[in-house]
Structure 1
Amino acid sequence: MIPATLVTGATPALREAAIRAAMTSTVDTAIILEGIPDAQSGLDADAPHLHIVRIAPGCVCCTGNLTMRVTLNRLLRGKPEQLYIGLATSAHLEQIRAFLTAPPYDNLLALTKDLHA
């Protein structure tokens, strides 16, 4: 099972800093970030162990989960050792958590405690 952490915070920079502080630096890590980064990105996109994907802002559960499903499936094919999902809003955390704990993700992901930046 891949540990998966939902990350919320007021700005992209705060969410990215929280991810950077929490992740193990040498572990193969997949990161899905919602929204456009600001100039203060705390993540090194050139690090060989990081696989960063940015998706357009918009609630990932209200848009039918299609973007999240496609992005997540592509990242999980690479068998990362940890996964972080940075969300622009915490309004629908329960719905997103339900999506990630339903088949097929229930056999692939182990949700950890959320990070709030």
Structure 2
Amino acid sequence: MLVTGSSAAAREAAIAHAIVLSTPGNDGAAVILEGISNGIPVLEASSKLLMSRIAPGCLCCAGNLVMRVTLNRLLRQGPARLFIGVADTAHLDQLRSWLSKPPYDQLLALAPDLHS
């Protein structure tokens, strides 16, 4: 699920809420957050929550390689849910398209975007 919002804190809060609602039982979740939290982070990595932060920048253009490497590492661990917090929505359609093509089309079922 791609998560957008006005601030890193708002995106993290929306993801935290969605994890509580959508991750059943002991299934784990993975989160890729673009940028650094504003102040105290809402989410913290645990045995049930895999987290990665990547530098802000367009995830489908300048950050493509970093995004692919980070995504591949997380997907190898088999999370039940994946949330990607996106700081800039300018290329959201391109990012969604990129995630819908091989090899990710076989690994991901994209849900509607979550706007915080």
Match of 1:103, SS? coil
Change (3 A) 1:64 1:81: same
Contact 2:4/2:87, CA 8 A, preserved across alignment: yes
CA distance in 2, matches of 1:54, 1:32: 6
* TM-score scaled by length of structure 1: 0.90
Q: Which runs of 5+ in 2 are unaligned?
A: none
1:15 aligns with 2:14: no
* Aligned residues with identical type, % of pairs: 57
* TM-score scaled by length of structure 2: 0.91
Q: Which amino acid is the alignment partner of residue 107 of structure 2? A: L
CA distance in 2, matches of 1:14, 1:88: 10
Match of 1:36, SS? coil
Q: Which amino acid is the alignment partner of residue 76 of structure 2? A: R
CA distance in 1, matches of 2:82, 2:29: 6
Aligned-residue offset at 1:64:
6.0
| CA root-mean-square deviation | 1.3
CA distance in 2, matches of 1:60, 1:83: 16
Contact 1:12/1:41, CA 8 A, preserved across alignment: no
Residue aligning to 2:75: 76
Match of 2:66, SS? helix
Deviations 1:61-91 (A, max 9, x none): 1116111111100111101110000000111
**Number of corresponding residues:** 112
